[in-house]
Amino acid sequence: MELKAFYEAVGGDLEAVKSRISKEELIRKFVVKFLADPSFELLCKAYEQGQYQEAFRGAHSLKGVCFNLGFQRLGESASVLTECLRGKETEEQVDKETCEAILQQVKEEYQTVTEAIKQLD
């Protein structure tokens, strides 16, 4: 898969990334490195364990990485989840129904991105 097709598949913004990183080879390198980023795993594990401040950190980090790489859809979902978890420490403070629905969306978008990365030429 070409880089342009990759960005179309993941709802990304290649042109915005090119404004920051002019060489497609470098963009591709950073996109592939996304697979090793621990933010998503931290988010999921912490949320599952009820560690909402850590889950917030994971969502916030994922949001930043995604927006830097131009993964708009995933970044937007992670951003919404970040706000859902902001300042929450206990289960009583968390709107679990809303956060879990958003987390599911993040998981789906993450899978779309990671599958597409594996198909890059």
CATH number at residue 59: 1.20.120
Range of the domain at 97: 3-118
Q: Where are the alpha helices (DSSP H) in 49-90?
A: 52-69, 72-85
**Length of the chain counted residue by residue:** 121
pTM for the model: 0.93
Q: Who contacts 85 (Cβ-Cβ below 8 Å, separation ≥6)?
A: 52, 55, 56, 59, 94, 99
Q: What is the pLDDT tens value at each position of the chain, 121 positions in all?
A: 999 999 999 999 899 999 999 999 999 999 999 999 999 999 999 999 999 999 999 999 999 999 999 999 999 999 999 999 999 988 899 999 999 999 999 999 999 999 999 999 7
As to burial, measured by CB atoms within 10 angstroms (0-12 exposed, 13-18 middle, 19+ buried), residue 87 is: exposed
Please count the structural domains in the chain: 1
